[in-house]
Structure 1
Amino acid sequence: MNTFRIGLIGLGGMAQAHIRWMNEAGRFRIVAVSDVNAEAMAQVGEQLGIAEDKRYADFVRLIEDPDVDAAVSVTPNNVHADIIRACLQAGKPFLAEKPFTRVFEEAVPLLELYERQPVPAMFGFTYRYTPAFRYARELIRQGKIGAVRSFSIQYLQGWGAALYGHPYVWRFDKAIAGTGTLGDLGSHMIDMARFLFGCEFEELSAQLHNIIPERLDPVTGNRVQVEVDDFASFLARMTGGIMGVFQTSRNAVGSGNQHEVSVYGDSGTIHVSTLDPDRLVWIREEEPGQLAKATLEAPKHCHVKQYEDFLALLEGSATDGLPGFLDAYRNQEVLDAVIRASETKSVVRIRQ
């Protein structure tokens, strides 16, 4: 079996998770690394035994390296577009973190380039690989709750709450992140809705809000204004008339990583959450006038790893449900609509 040679771009904390996942998959070998932080590059380079001439300050050189079969990008949002563009221009397969780009204006020319010269591409919408979510998708497709009419979805974390006094980091910097919790957590909610129901967003209304307007810069010791949202909510209508309620926040005290969905159909309901990633709750009518509630274990075939799908993509056999280039682009399209709806206080139709 082939081993794919990977160039890893971005060596911050999340890179260690990707390194672990690649090691677990067993058929990836990291042969080159890139980061603007020389200290991080030296540290990870030593950790992985990467030769000095394969440690690149310029990610374009890594992408163009003929010894690199595919790139994995784990960087802040402000370089997503440049890395995707470089991979497309070099014809290099890649896996990149979400969101697709910092702002929608960066996404449009990338789609045009991709349509001219497509490249195998995957994006880090990792909750598609939570067994309970995959099982929920399967049950919905099998009609186990009848026609889906509505759903509520939320993604809550608590680390940004005033209680903890979290300092100013790049995720609070609009120039780097583009948005706050909307792009960081909200992009996962948007992707999950498209993944579960296989349909697109048609229109929405939204509110973005900043709860903590200033945070302490740990470098300068000064208070810095936060210009991005740390709470987002929106109402959406999807194709087929499915109605959705979305909420995300970093200020939910007691929520570690709480991403969950309740789906309401004509003949039943499904509840699924990262708090119980291997099980879901199914409510349906067991006998006329009598509801039954069951907790179901996700079957073995729903336990799919992200890098298993990336491996299949590189081998030319992309699997059903793999988050590809157009998934990421459509996601950015919806993020842009949420921003416009909040700014204009109006209902915004999604570009079709």
Structure 2
Amino acid sequence: MTKTIGFGFIGLGGMARAHLRSIRRFPDAAVTAVCDVSAEGARAFAAEAGGVPEERIYADYRALVADPAVDVVVCVTPNDTHAGVIRACLEAGKPFMAEKPFTRTFEEAEELIALYRERPVPNMIGFSYRYQPQFRLARELVRSGKLGPIRHVFIQYLQSWGSAAVGTPLVWRFDKAVTGTGTLGDLGSHMIDTARFLIGEFEEVSGRLATLIPERKHPATGALAPVEVDDFACFHASLAGGVPAVFQTTRNALGSGNQHEAYIYGDFGTLFVSSENARTVTWIHKTLEEPEAVREELPVSAEGGVDQWDEFMKLLRGERSDLVTTVEDGYVNQEVMEAILASERRKAVVSLPYRQ
């Protein structure tokens, strides 16, 4: 008989419910404990998850990690608790899945990578675009040589919910004490992972960050309060082999929904891939028959994607995919972001690996 794996959920918002829908597909998985700062929200999620008993509804994540009924931890919390939860899991020897960014600060990342290398456990950091079929097809096409030598790359991630016309108040994603950075850590971390996934490692960066809307209404008082994190970030980079790359991300792009996309320019053509189109990638190239460049929509096979939870469950069963993002990837991602922040402070190009 297959042993049921007990999952403990920490942070019970929208992403936790998305993970809950995924976990229901596995007959050998069950939610055995939950934790949230809202007692009411925790009880509602416990009921939704199949009736987690009252004694396993926690307000303190450390108690959940210590619970013997919890085999694996799923951390879906704001950035300021990522390091604490991951540290508790490593010390308890329990596998975990945690959302990105890896940590709030680079100092936290350095502490955790040292502990992880001493006491490794199966884990996944949630850079979810690696699992989408269009991004995987793009990677295969780059690796196959279809584009020829890669000459340069442009990656962007645009959202509109922070724009002035929307009037979003000072939610936690604008609170430096909670997030560490703003759009750089939230959306920029995905761009960094996409570049590593499609092209290779970062060699150097030059960054520019801005706070376009410096004040927002405090949700409790209604008074204007300062915004201390970036809501726009751009950076230049040199990727593996010296490939130049340009990145931009903002929450102020009115008209953009969840627009994460990459243009990859090679000698044989240009490849375009977007989070907003999972069915095709665009291939722009020359043919002998046409004097102008041809735009071809390459179909994406639904089987080309790999479900994030399928990969995580395989990992827990002892299988290993070289495409799963772990603490090691989370650390490198945080290191690149820290180099971008250092570049902004110094007004200079910063090399990787980064050393303070």
Tell me if both proteins adopt one fold, taking TM over 0.5 as the criterion. Answer: yes
* Cα offset, 1:266, TM superposition: 1.7
Does 94-103 or 214-223 show the bigger shift? 214-223
Structure-2 residue corresponding to 1:305: 307
Instruction: Note the residue ranges of structure 1 that are not aligned, 5 or more in a row.
Output: none
CA shift, 1:285, in A, is 3.1
Counterpart in the other structure of 1:281: 282
Measured in 2, the distance between the counterparts of 1:23 and 1:287 equals 52
Give, in whole Å, the separation in 1 of the partners of 2:317 and 2:262. Answer: 33
| 1:31-72: CA deviation from partner (whole Å, max 9, x where unpaired) | 110112212112212222110111111111211222212110
Aligned to 2:232: 231
1:321-340 CA distance string (max 9 Å, x none):
11111111100000101111
User: Distance in 2 between the 1:250 and 1:3 partners?
Assistant: 41
1:63 aligns with 2:46: no
> How far apart are the structure 1 equivalents of 2:285 and 2:27?
41
Letter of the 1:133 counterpart: F
Q: Which runs of 4+ in 1 moved over 6 A?
A: none
Instruction: Determine if the alignment matches structure 1 residue 10 to structure 2 residue 8.
Output: no
3-state SS of paired residue (2:241) = coil
Match of 2:269 in 1: 268
**2:127 aligned to 111, 125, 128, which one?**
125
Q: Extract unaligned runs of 5+ from structure 2.
A: none
Query: Shift of the alpha carbon at 1:288?
Result: 7.8
Rounded Cα–Cα distance in structure 1 between residues aligned with 2:289 and 2:235: 36
Q: Which shows bigger deviation, 263-272 or 177-186?
A: 263-272
Would the aligned equivalents of 2:203 and 2:242 in 1 still touch at CA under 8 Å?
no
Check 1:305–1:26 CA distance in 2 against 1; reply closer, same or farther (3 A cut). Answer: farther
Alignment length, in residue pairs?
Answer: 351
| Equivalent pair of 1:130/1:278 in contact (CA under 8 Å) | no
**TM-score (ref. length: structure 2):** 0.95
Query: Quick one: distance in 2 between partners of 1:201 and 1:242?
Result: 9
TM-score normalised by length of structure 1: 0.96
The Cα of 1:289 is off from its aligned counterpart by 7.5
* 1:29 has 2:34 as partner: no
Q: Is 2:10–2:74's contact at 8 Å kept on the other side of the alignment?
A: yes
Cα shift at 1:2: 4.7
Question: Secondary structure of 1:336's partner?
Answer: helix
Tell me the equivalent position of 2:331.
Answer: 329
Correspondence for 1:207: 208
Give, in angstroms, the shift of residue 223 of structure 1.
Answer: 1.1
Check whether the contact 1:25–1:307 (CA below 8 A) recurs between aligned residues.
no
Q: Equivalents in 2 of 1:172, 1:57: separation in Å? A: 24
1:7-156 paired onto structure 2 within 5 Å:
7-25=8-26, 27-48=28-49, 49-156=51-158
CA distance in 2, matches of 1:301, 1:2: 28
